[in-house]
Amino acid sequence: MKLAEKLVSLRKAKGLTQMKVAESLEVSRQAVSRWEVGDAVPSTENLKCLSILFGVPIDYLVNDADVWEQNCVGNAVAKEKEKPKRKMLMVGVCFSIFILALAALYLFFAGEQIADGKEDSIRILEEEQLEDEPEVGFELEW
């Protein structure tokens, strides 16, 4: 899309007349008409004012629409596509941390129970061994 077509499209989208645009930029209505027909090109200062008036970057006004749309819209689409990936990554990280915390708690409490169980079984074994052993004694006489 050419600059002239963009100016007409943006002006109509804002609901402005050529006269209102001319008054806003302090130029003649004929100047705005020549810009929209393509007979003339606005000055740099007028391009700045037009970009502010229509709420678009100067880059959009002076470059092909395809280039601007690919850069601006393409970047926005790429960011939108990244959002679900980021969310999934964050969910995965949180889930992994949760699983690791559960494993650590399990090992902590299971380790205490195992240690308590070993102590109990050692005591039981020691008691059994003491009971099973016959009393052997030596009597020495001189």
Helix ranges (H only) for the chain are: 3-14, 18-25, 29-37, 44-54, 58-62, 65-132
Nearest to 53 by CA among 28, 27, 31, 20: 20
Cβ–Cβ < 8 Å for 65, 1: yes
Mean pLDDT across 103-132: 65
Tell me, what amino acid is at 35?
W
What confidence score (pLDDT) does residue 134 get?
A: 56
At 20, the pLDDT band (50, 70, 90 cuts) reads very high
Count CA within 13 A, CB hemisphere, residue 50. 27
At 118, the pLDDT band (50, 70, 90 cuts) reads low
Q: 101 or 124, which is more confident? A: 101
Exposed, middle or buried, 6 (CB in 10 Å: 0-12/13-18/19+)? buried
Q: What is the chain's mean pLDDT, rounded? A: 78
Each residue of 70-86: pLDDT tens digit?
Answer: 555 555 555 666 677 78
Count of all residues that appear for the chain in the document:
142
pLDDT at 128 over 90: no
pLDDT at 123 over 90: no
Query: What domains lie within the chain, and their CATH numbers?
Result: 3-63 (1.10.260.40)
Q: How far apart are CA 75 and CA 61, in angstroms?
A: 19
Q: How far apart are CA 71 and CA 63, in angstroms?
A: 11
pLDDT at 104 over 70: yes
Q: How far apart are CA 36 and CA 5, in angstroms?
A: 7
Q: pLDDT above 90 covers what percent of the chain?
A: 37
What confidence score (pLDDT) does residue 133 get?
A: 54
Each residue of 21-65: pLDDT tens digit?
Answer: 999 999 999 999 999 998 999 999 999 999 999 988 888 888 875
